[in-house]
Amino acid sequence: MQAVITADIVNSTKLEPDAFHALEEDIRALYDKPFRLLFYRGDSYQVLIPEGYSAYRYMLLSRLIAISYSKDVRIDIRQSLRLGNVSKEIIDMGSHVDPVFVNSGRSFDQFSEGEAGRLLLMTCGDKLFDMNFELIARYTDSLLSQVTAKQAKAINQLFSGKTQKETAALLGKTGATINQQVKAARFEELELLVSKYEELTQIVEQHGI
C-alpha cells in the first residue's frame, strides 16, 4: 500500500526568495529516491510514498522543516494524505490519473470548504478507518499549531534519529535547552501519534483496502 500527499506551503509568499528556495530544497532532499516528487504552481507539490505506513512520519518531518522557517509570519504545510494502491508504473507524475492520486487531490480541495487552521487530512476511502485517521490528523494539527520555529528545529532532529545530546551539539544549544524545547513541543505525544498511525495503516493493509 502506497500513499500520495498533495500539499502546499502556507504563507510561502511571505518568505524571502532565498528562504523559499532553501525550504524547497529541504523538501526535495526529504523526498529523495525512492520517493517521487513533483512541484507545481510554485509552492504546491505532490509526492508518492512507496510505503504507506511511513507517510505520516515524512508528513510530520516536512511540516517541522517548514515551521522552522517561521519568523514574523508562521510557515507551515497544508497536506492531504491518501492511502491506496498504485496500479500502474509511474511514468509522469504530472499526468498520472491513478485513483490514489486523484483522491488525494480531491481531498486537498476540501480545505477551501473546511474550518480555518485545518492543515492535515488523512484518508483511505473506508469510513470507519477514516474516522480514526481524522482523529490523528486533528490531534496533529493541535500539537503542531503550538510548536515554535526553535522547537521545530529540535524535534525535527529527534524524528530524524538524532539523540538529544546530538541535537544539542548540532544546534549549538545546551542539553537543558533542548530538553526544555522537546518537552514544550510535546514530542512524546507526537511520537505516540506516529506509532498509532503506523498501527492503523497496517490494519488497513491487512483488510485489503
pLDDT on residue 65: 97
Residue 37 β-bridge partners: 47
- Residues 145, 151, 155, CA angle at the centre, nearest 5°? 100
pLDDT on residue 94: 58
> 152: exposed, middle or buried (C-beta count within 10 Å: 0-12, 13-18, 19+)?
buried
Distance between terminal CA atoms of the chain?
8
Q: For the segment 78-108, what is each residue's pLDDT rounded down to a tens digit? A: 999 999 888 666 655 655 666 777 777 777 7
Concatenated DSSP letters for 64-121?
HHHHTT-SSS--EEEEEEEEE---S--S-GGG---HHHHHHHHHHHGGGGS-TT--EE
Q: For the segment 149-169, what is each residue's pLDDT rounded down to a tens digit? A: 999 999 999 999 999 999 999
CA gap 172, 57 in Å, rounded? 25
* Residue among 200, 197, 183 at smallest CA distance from 58: 197
How many C-beta atoms surround the C-beta of residue 103 within 10 A?
A: 19
532553501: which residue's cell?
Answer: 22
pLDDT on residue 112: 66
> The domain 2-146+186-206: what is its CATH number?
3.30.70
pLDDT tier, 117 (very low <50, low <70, confident <90, very high otherwise): confident
* CA distance to 8, 23, 44, per residue, from 15 (Å): 14, 9, 15
Average pLDDT over residues 115-127: 88
CB 41 within 8 A of CB 33: no
CA gap 171, 68 in Å, rounded? 12
Q: What average pLDDT does the structure give for the chain?
A: 91
Domain extents in the chain: 2-146+186-206
pLDDT tier, 52 (very low <50, low <70, confident <90, very high otherwise): very high
CB 46 within 8 A of CB 104: yes
Helix %, strand %, coil % for the chain, to 5?
55, 15, 30
